[in-house]
Structure 1
Amino acid sequence: MGIFDKLFGGKKGKDTGCMPTRRLTFAFPPIPENGIRFAEQFREAVKENLNEDLDFSVETLKFADDFLQRFKDEGLSVNDFAETIFVVGCYVGQVMVHNNGGVWIRQEDANLAKGVSMMPIIIQLPNGVITDPIGKAFKRFHNGEVDSLPYYHKVFTSERGEES
């Protein structure tokens, strides 16, 4: 029995690309106040099923990265695993909140350029940078290691453009 079957008891489907093509079902609305709740969903499932205690440290992004890869390697599609990928992305965002002073905001409040679309909740860092950790989790799942979550965190939270 594969880990997907053990954790979620689902059947694997065909690859549909980077983003889900079906409507996602959530335990609560995808609004900024619930970013932490989604992240906690991931933490609790990992603790219960894999006996790993995630603490929102930057180092735990490697676990999240490997977690997504494990399910990709089992042949799951984005549609098979979409809600879980979403909560992994929220975990990544919450790491940015805990360690870098980020805040969850609604996509509509980000003043994105016309035609730019992100997930319904995204992270704004103290320097004003807007980033989409949920969208990154979907890309990581679909594209593999080239979209590393630890590297993503490093790029978006580094002190770029400041003189030392």
Structure 2
Amino acid sequence: MSLPVPLTVETAAALADSVVDAARQLNGVELDFSEASLAQVDAILDEFHEIGSRATASATVAFGAYIGEVLVRNAGYRWRDTTAEERDLYGGWPMVVARDADQKVANPIGKAFKRVDNGPGEGVAFFYTVMAQS
């Protein structure tokens, strides 16, 4: 995988920002970190479905960071490193988003891969709705 920044808690926002730039340049789509923007992310990831997540791995990771940042900026989550046990549970990803208020944990990078691999039934807009509920 070739990402514009390393995949860490500290660089998640920068990685998400790179998605905003790429979506504007490549798709003519303005992503604004709102809940509504996730419908546009679903549409973009739908284009990746036929290619598959292995071929689009870097972009899929970056879109996962964007999804996570939407949760961070709008639903009270924060990025945190995964524990060794969680890495097994969440597909090996080094970070997740968590909400301290109710102990919810979400794996937005893993969700982006599920969306690409499994199609519309794994919608990220719906994922946000579920994870944002208190």
TM-score using structure 2 length: 0.90
Maintained 8 Å contact 2:97/2:108: yes
5+ residue gaps, structure 2, are none
Aligned-pair CA distance for 1:115:
4.5
**Paired residues for 1:6-85 under 5 Å:** 24-72=1-49, 75-85=50-60
User: In structure 2, what is the equivalent of residue 124 of structure 1?
Assistant: 98
Maintained 8 Å contact 2:90/2:107: no
Maintained 8 Å contact 1:35/1:121: no
Would you identify which runs of 4 or more consecutive aligned residues in structure 1 move more than 4 Å? none
Change (3 A) 1:81 1:115: closer
Maintained 8 Å contact 1:68/1:140: yes
Q: Following the alignment from structure 2 to structure 1, what is the Cα–Cα distance between the partners of residues 32 and 11?
A: 18
Q: RMSD of the TM alignment (CA)?
A: 1.7
TM-score using structure 1 length: 0.74
Q: Which range is displaced more, 48-57 or 114-123?
A: 114-123
1:86 aligns with 2:61: yes
1:142 aligns with 2:117: yes
Residues 4-50 of structure 1 show CA distances to partners (whole Å, capped at 9, x for unaligned) of xxxxxxxxxxxxxxxxxxxx222222110111011011100111222
Change (3 A) 1:115 1:134: closer
Percentage of pairs with the same residue: 25
Q: Following the alignment from structure 2 to structure 1, what is the Cα–Cα distance between the partners of residues 68 and 90?
A: 17
Maintained 8 Å contact 1:78/1:138: yes
